[in-house]
Structure 1
């Protein structure tokens, strides 16, 4: 137990499994609930956006500013935004509802299922970094972030498996993609912890980079997706519920 408390990489690995398990659970729910409706996806995504927004500020940006100041935090934040923008343009991927993004020349050269996997990996980049970076600050902060990310990953896991099941894909394939989605966050959490070890500046940069990429994903992808199908009021309700839940988690666990 003492080694766990002192070893930030091990801490990130263990805590990074929380969102992985939660995403897998959401994937199972998506397979069971294949008769659900589009509105359920929008409410779930809105909920995720609310959790991610609060997490970006309370678990990432504010600690980063306290540790390293606003200049380095701003630099890391903008770098996080730039990283996601570049990944979206360079890596061929396909969102389950938004469609294909990336080089046009690669659109028909990669199987659809792998394009979906690549989109999930890009989307989960900031979440894994958030868990790993906050774990480097301490067990309490890491646990808060891991639980928050895990809670919002349940509807995300649902969003991954549900459309695949409805489209007639193998349930085994849909569940495997959900599990892979969660494990990618575990891997990124360990990478973030490794980057943050031994340097306060690197920790600050990692925290703010995770926040920047997370806020960009929320603004550029998640919220617009929830407003495409005429469910704006319900998806906004989901956003507010996720926002409030994260505030309570921060208060109770912090």
Structure 2
């Protein structure tokens, strides 16, 4: 339980860590942002395919894997359908803080719930180190997200300190959802392979739907591609070392 609390807290607070630079400067080059997003995508693909799915396969079957992955994918698809996705980096419309800005904060917060569940389910697994690896992967994904949320809020005339605090709060929901995922799979042991597969599906959805397109949108596809491969190899090495 102690490791779960520490891992989920650090993963969630990575959102705030990513937003921290906003207190000192208001922008970051597209090139480095794309490289970071692609590196994170590589980390998450490796975590899903070399940790989550193999561990789920040990405790379940191919049918369980398929159902879990599809469920994770469909869950995020439903969230995307009901909550419109807004490109935080390229939005040029002056959105009022009392309406659509709050919608964006709500969308980011809701999208963090499956990520927290992924962390919690991973810690409930019997595989040593799996929870820490998944928390690390999710935390990397949260960092640029926190920066973009804070940057968007500043562009809407929100103070830097308030933007930092609001961005940090969007990640805090992951701690609660991690606890829920952990307790559900701990109480009902048969849910573990479903939960791990769900986490894999959710992570792969984020990679293909969000991270890769975002990292290729500003003309830095080659740098992003190399960064993705490096991230993949780094995570494979971590799986071999700690998983």
TM-score interval, normalised by the smaller of the two chains: 0.7 to 0.9
1:48 corresponds to which of 40, 51, 59: 40
Deviations 1:116-159 (Å, cap 9, x if unpaired)?
A: 21231243233212211110014522122223332443333333
Structure 2 CA distance, aligned partners of 1:180 and 1:140?
A: 27
Match of 1:148 in 2: 137
1:251 aligns with 2:237: no
Distance 1:243 1:25, change over 3 A: same
State how far apart, in whole Å, the 2-side matches of 1:245 and 1:186 are.
Answer: 26
> Cα gap change, 1:236/1:161 in structure 2, threshold over 3 Å: closer, same or farther?
farther
**SS in structure 1 opposite 2:60?**
helix
Contact 1:16 1:186 in 2 (8 A): yes
- Inter-CA distance 248–29: structure 2 relative to 1 (3 Å threshold): farther
Change (3 A) 1:95 1:35: closer
Identify which range, 161-170 or 49-58, moves more after superposition.
Answer: 161-170
Give 2:20's aligned residue: 28
Residues 4-34 of structure 1 deviation map (CA, whole Å, 9 limit, x = unaligned): 4xxxxx5433320011222211110243342
C-alpha distance in 1 between matches for 2:155 and 2:223: 22
| Cα distance change of structure 1 residues 95 and 126 upon mapping to structure 2, 3 Å threshold | farther
What's the counterpart of residue 126 of structure 1?
Answer: 114
- Which consecutive residues of structure 2, in runs of 5 or more, have no partner in the other structure? none
Distance apart, 1:93 and its partner CA: 5.1
SS of aligned partner of 1:197: helix
Aligned to 1:78: 70
Query: Cα–Cα, structure 1 residues 39 and 166, in superposed 2: closer, same or farther, change >3 Å?
Result: farther
Aligned to 1:228: 217
Shift of 1:97: 3.8
Who is 1:117 aligned against?
105
Q: How many residues align?
A: 239
Pairwise CA distance, 1:36: 2.1
Indicate the SS of the match to 2:86. strand
Q: 1:177 to 1:52 in 2, by over 3 A?
A: farther
Does 2:185 align with 1:196?
Answer: yes
Report what 2:31 is aligned to: 39
- State whether residues 23 and 161 of structure 2, in contact with CA within 8 Å, keep that contact through their aligned partners in structure 1: no
Gaps of 5+ in 1: 5-9, 100-106
Cα distance in 2 between the residues matched to 1:80 and 1:122: 14
Secondary structure of 2:187's aligned partner? coil
In structure 2, how many angstroms separate the alpha carbons of the residues matched to 1:45 and 1:141?
Answer: 22
3-state secondary structure, aligned to 1:165 = helix
> Contact 1:93–1:118 at 8 Å: present in 2 too?
no
Match for residue 103 of structure 1?
Answer: none
Aligned to 2:6: 14
